[in-house]
Amino acid sequence: MKGIGKKAGSILFGVCALLLFFALWEVAARLELLVNPLFLPPFTKVLGILWRIILNGELWKHLIVSLRRSLIGYAAGVAFAVPFGLALGWFKRFGRFLNPVLQAFRNTPTLALLPVFVMFFGITEFSKIVVIFWGVIWGVLLNTIAGVRSVDPQLVRAARSMGTSAVRLFVTVVLPGSLPHIFTGMRLSATTSILILIAAEMLGASKGLGYALNFYQANMRFPEMYAYIVVMSVIGVVLNFTLERVEKRSFRWREDSK
């Protein structure tokens, strides 16, 4: 009961912080305190615009396109990064050999490579998915490698001493021990995929949240622009919260064993 009360109090504290932020936004825009209401319209006006684009279907048209692109790129990135990361973590010499290249690519901002992807693939649907794929793989890949290398060596030695084959050792000991790290990488990369997609859509698209944001900004329709910014923020928060809850429920045994 004490834990539930503490959790509820934490949620309530967070909600109050958000309400205070929105109230300050509203007051600052209404009274023109340090801001120009032309560039920062009142929050209630933004909410009105948001309600309108929900009702007329405009939001759903862009949201569905963006989520489809993000899901395809994310799924492809995870499908590539997990097995590749398991191989790099398990075969240590192979991992050390490729580590300099991986570190170089990892530290190159994905958004800096957008012009390169556009040159190679054009302003197409495929180019946007490739950008998302590239941005997703690094978080999953590096967490997967770390997960394999964090498996207790004593468990590995004990399994080998009992004559466990390499394949069975990997499936029954290494892979389960790596899953918490893998899931953490997947959770972090999920929100990354949304952010990268928005930037890609702002460069060249006819539909999507990034396209809508760029369109309204270019036409100085700032209430609509802020409405889409709010939508993107909500998507990121909901996605991260959902995956975080799934992660905690899936690996509750880690907390119980401590």
Q: CATH code at 68? A: 1.10.3720.10
Instruction: Reduce the DSSP state of residue 178 to 3 states and report it.
Output: helix
> How many domains is the chain partitioned into structurally?
2
Statement to judge: residues 166 and 60 lie in one domain: yes
Do the beta carbons of residue 128 and residue 205 sit within 8 Å? yes
Statement to judge: residues 34 and 63 lie in one domain: no
Distance of CA 186 to the CA centre of its chain: 8
Q: For 29-54, what is the mean pLDDT?
A: 88
User: Locate tokens 């949240």: which residue?
Assistant: 209
Q: For 4-8, what is the mean pLDDT?
A: 59
Q: Show the tokens assigned to 242.
A: 């959902």
Statement to judge: residues 3 and 49 lie in one domain: no
Statement to judge: residues 162 and 224 lie in one domain: yes
Q: Which of 20-34, 71-85, 187-201 has the highest mean pLDDT?
A: 71-85
Statement to judge: residues 16 and 76 lie in one domain: no
Q: Show the tokens assigned to 114.
A: 């957008």
Statement to judge: residues 6 and 128 lie in one domain: no
Provide the Cα torsion 252, 175, 97, 131; round to 10°: -70
What count of residues does the chain have?
A: 258
d(CA 140, CA 84): 10
Q: Which of 248, 183, 211, 207 is CA-nearest to residue 64?
A: 207
| pLDDT beyond 80 at 10 | no
Higher pLDDT, 9 or 126: 126
Statement to judge: residues 123 and 213 lie in one domain: yes
| pLDDT beyond 70 at 136 | yes
Statement to judge: residues 27 and 97 lie in one domain: no
Distance of CA 10 to the CA centre of its chain: 23
Could you tell me the pTM of the whole model?
Answer: 0.83
pLDDT band at 75 (very low <50, low <70, confident <90, very high): very high
Q: Show the tokens assigned to 235.
A: 């998507």
Contacts of 181 (CB under 8 A, 6+ apart): 143, 144, 146, 147, 150
Do the beta carbons of residue 197 and residue 167 sit within 8 Å? no
At 225 the pLDDT is 93
At 106 the pLDDT is 82
What range does the domain containing 104 cover? 42-256
Statement to judge: residues 36 and 46 lie in one domain: no
Do the beta carbons of residue 128 and residue 72 sit within 8 Å? no
Each residue's pLDDT tens digit, 177-235: 888 889 888 888 888 888 888 888 877 777 889 889 989 988 989 999 999 999 988 88
Statement to judge: residues 16 and 86 lie in one domain: no
User: Locate tokens 């190159």: which residue?
Assistant: 108
Average pLDDT across the chain, whole number: 84
At 2 the pLDDT is 54
Statement to judge: residues 21 and 108 lie in one domain: no
At 45 the pLDDT is 93
Which amino acid does the sequence have at 199?
Answer: A
Statement to judge: residues 181 and 223 lie in one domain: yes
